[in-house]
Each structure stands twice: as C-alpha cells, then as structure tokens.
Amino acid sequence: MVNKILIIDDEEKLRKLLAKIISLEGFEVIEAADIKSGLKKLDIFDIDVVLCDVKLPDGNGVETAKLIKERYPIVEIILLTAYGNIPDGVQAIKNGAFEYITKGDDNNRIIPLLYKACEKVALARRVRQLEKQLGNRLSFDKIIGSSVAIKSAIALAQKVSVTGTTVLLTGETGTGKEVFAQAIHQASPRKERSFVAINCAAFTKDLLENELFGHKAGAFTGATKDQRGLFEEAHLGTIFLDEIGEMAIELQAKILRVLETGEFLKVGDSKPTKVDVRIIAATNRDLEAEIDSEHFRSDLFYRLSVFTIQLPPLRERVEDIRLLAQYYADIFVAKSNLKPLKMTAEFVAALERNPWRGNIRELKNVIERSVILSEDGLLDLSSLPFGMNSLKSEQALSSGFSMANIERQHIQRVLQYTNGNKAEAARLLEIGVATLYRKIEEYKMQ
C-alpha cells in the first residue's frame, strides 16, 4: 500500500517543490494551502503523515497538531517552521507531533522522517487491527452454542458486563469460565484497559501473594527492586481470579480488602497501594461447602457472589456438541493445512453420547486427535479414542465388551497412530513384533 502524505503550507512554490521530492520517493502526495482545507483532505483521504507549516493564514500548526491527533490518533504530524524556537518545539511534541524541524536547515531530514513516521503508522494500524480481531474473538457473539442453558448464561453475562459489579463464575472444569470472563471485559467500559488472568491453584501461598500484589525492594532475599503485582497491572481494567476456591485463607483477607477499599499492601510495604480494578472470580468448588469446612471466608464469598453465573456442563447442552466439534475441527484442519473434513453421523452420535467429564476442554482434545487420525476426508468412529468408537448402539455396546474385541480395537488404534509401522506399534504395545503379526492375522486386520 502506498503511503499518503498531506502537505499543508501556504507557500505554493515550496509546497509544490516538497510534493515533487516526496512523490519521487514513491509516496502519494495531497496538498492543502491552509488548515481548513487540510482538515477536509483528512476527512476524504486515508492520510498517514501530515507535513504542516507552523504559521498558516488561518491558524497555528502547533495547535493544529493537537486537533489532528484528537480526531485521527494514528496519523503522524511533522511540523515545519521558518524560525524554530524551543518553547514551540516542546509544545509541538506535547501536542502529539512526531517531529518539529526548521525549514532549510533540516531539509535533508524530511524524507528519513517520513519513512520513520510511516513505519510508526503501519505498526499502529496493525495493533488496531489485532485489537479489533481480539475483541471480536472474545465477544459474546463468538461463544458457540444455541442451547437454552448457554443462551441463559450469556444473557446474564451481557447484563452484568456493562456495570462494574464483581462477578462469580461457577461450573465444572473446562466449561469456559475464562472465555466468559474475557467476553464480560470486552463488553464493559473497561475494554480499552488490561484484562489480567491468573490461576490461583497454580501457585503456593507466598508466590501467589507476590504475583497478585508485588513487593518492595528488600522484602525478601533476591528482591533487589520494586515489583508491580497483577492488581497494579490491571488498574482501571479487569482481573480474573480463576480457581479462587484454591486460594489460602490468609490471602483471601487481602482480596476482601481490595474489594472493600480498593487498597492492598505489597509484600514488605507499609504504605497501601490504591487501585481501581473490576474482579471476576471463578471456581469449580462449592464455596458454601468450603465455608462450612472453614476453607473459605464467608465475608469474601458474599462480596464475590454479588452476581453469580453458573456455566452449564457440556452434557447439559448436547445440542451444542456438533457446533463445537465442527468449530474445533475447522481450526485444527487449518493449522494442519488439511482439506475440510466431514463428520459422519456415527461420529457425531458418539460425541453426543459421551459424558464429557472434562467438558469443552476434553472435547477440544478429542477433536484434535480425531483430525490427526482422519482418513479419506472423514471424521468417523475409527478416529475416536478407545471407549467412544464402539458406541453405535446398545447392541454394539454389549458386543464390544469381549476381551478379543477390545484387544482388536486397541491394536487398530495403535497401528493408526504409528501410520502402520509395526515395529513401533509393537514397542508401544510392549509385545514382540512376531506376536503383533500373529494378532493381526488372528483378527483378520490386513
């Protein structure tokens, strides 16, 4: 894409000369003789960089830089002046100008500066595009499912997202609690700020405290400098505390203080740090039962559960399984550069009968495996894990209980995994190659 440069200068000869020099470098040049017409050009053209004189008939370029950056934050501005002075230069940079240069003295700097400014614009446009894609990917529209159970959960999350209310997401492991937390953040007034997530079960008490709240230099051996915690990183944004039911009860008191006062003490600090953070917490535990066993603070529970959303397990939204399976299949097909795969009716039926104790996370893993083992453009029973691929019917289920049938299916699966390499299959099965050949002949697998 050719970069567009707008020159705003009332000196026609100089403007035309600049336009010719810049266009010879491969840039597309648009001209304007004053601020009013320059702003109109910005409305019409997708300008990358503005090259603007400081003194113009209808205004000052330094103040115009501020106006342009407010209206078009990605556009970069290089200001040109006949009489450079330090106060104007300082104010120009404060107003968002990329550079402030003197006509004549700095002419040889114009082209290099244009290239640098265009690089900055290209990066800013790329970041904006990625943020837009991320926002779309994490929005409620991207949560897959049409079942009543998931639609009900989405409706509740949409209502609470526009508020600053603390949210507690409950449900079994793998039901998509972090996806919901991200969608709530993206639909909230805090969406331009950070979304910070941490799994409370992944750290010991001391490490988790340090991760959440940071520390002061000298707080412990090895603490050579101050460190910000995740609550500070999430200031004005959202922090997602996953598996909060696993948090040590001593740390729960510090979370409660943040909820009540917006303050916390860093490790080794005596002065409180103040933050404005929305908390979304999640757990797969029954927190009320944890309160009864004195593993969770009741006061923290009541502050967290102002708005609770229960996410349904996959077995309670069977009608969504086909949609989810197709979604993950398309992803893994694209990653593996394969042709699109068709799911057979038996494949889908087996998925729908499975209890899915690991929920969506388990389904995703099964689909990835099935894509790897797929043949002839199909996802069928042969690509499913052991225990799922014999569930055609009650009759098939009962006949699948024989040891011979189980052994045959297992050998078939391992051979598929090794792409027919019998030596490797024998090694994985922990039997001799001669035994494997005998089994293949016995079960008529050739």
Q: Which tokens go with 66?
A: 């501020």
Q: Match 């200001």 to its residue by tokens.
A: 79
Question: 0.95 cut: is pTM over it?
Answer: no
Assess contact for 33 and 7: CB atoms under 8 A.
no
Q: Which pLDDT score, from 0 to 100, does residue 413 have?
A: 75
Q: For residues 194 and 98, give the distance between their C-alpha atoms in angstroms, rounded to a whole number.
A: 26
Pairing status of strand 227-228 against strand 214-215 = antiparallel
Max intra-chain CA distance, the chain? 96
Give every CB contact of residue 432 below 8 A, 6+ residues apart in sequence.
Answer: 426
SS3 content of the chain, % helix, strand, coil (to 5): 50, 15, 35
Host H or E run for residue 12 = helix 12-24
Cα angle 67, 72, 77; round to 5: 70
How many beta carbons lie within 10 A of that of residue 240, not counting itself?
Answer: 26
Written as one letter, the residue type at 221 is T
Q: For residues 294 and 358, give the distance between their C-alpha atoms in angstroms, rounded to a whole number.
A: 28
Query: Exposed, middle or buried by CB within 10 Å (0-12, 13-18, 19+), for 250?
Result: exposed
How many residues in total does the chain contain? 446
Q: Which pLDDT score, from 0 to 100, does residue 385 have?
A: 84
Q: Which pLDDT score, from 0 to 100, does residue 402 have?
A: 66
Rounded to 10 degrees, the C-alpha dihedral 187/190/196/201 comes to -70
DSSP symbol at 82: S
In three-state form (DSSP H/G/I as H, E/B as E, the rest C), the secondary structure along 103-114 is CCCCHHHHHHHH
Assess contact for 378 and 344: CB atoms under 8 A.
yes
Q: For residues 382 and 371, give the distance between their C-alpha atoms in angstroms, rounded to a whole number.
A: 11
In three-state form (DSSP H/G/I as H, E/B as E, the rest C), the secondary structure along 91-140 is HHHHCCCCEEEECCCCHHHHHHHHHHHHHHHHHHHHHHHHHHHHHHHCCH
Q: How far is CA 38 from CA 6, 70, 114, 166, 293, in A?
A: 8, 15, 18, 47, 70
Half-sphere exposure of 359 (CA within 13 A, CB side): 14
Alpha helices in 354-402 (DSSP H): 359-373, 394-399
- Beta-bridge mates of residue 264: 273
Question: C-alpha 436: how far from its chain's center?
Answer: 47
Q: Which pLDDT score, from 0 to 100, does residue 338 have?
A: 82
- Residue 421 has phi, psi (to 5 degrees) of -75, 105
> How does pLDDT run along the chain (446 residues), one tens digit per residue?
789 999 999 999 989 999 999 999 999 999 999 999 999 999 999 999 999 999 999 999 999 999 999 889 999 999 998 877 888 888 888 889 999 998 876 678 899 999 999 998 988 887 676 655 554 556 788 899 999 999 999 999 999 999 999 999 999 999 999 999 999 999 999 998 999 999 999 999 999 999 999 998 888 887 788 888 999 999 999 999 999 999 999 999 999 999 999 999 999 888 999 999 999 999 999 999 999 999 999 999 999 999 999 999 999 999 999 999 999 999 888 888 788 899 999 999 999 999 999 999 999 999 999 999 888 889 999 888 876 765 444 444 444 456 777 787 788 778 777 777 888 888 888 898 888 888 888 877 75
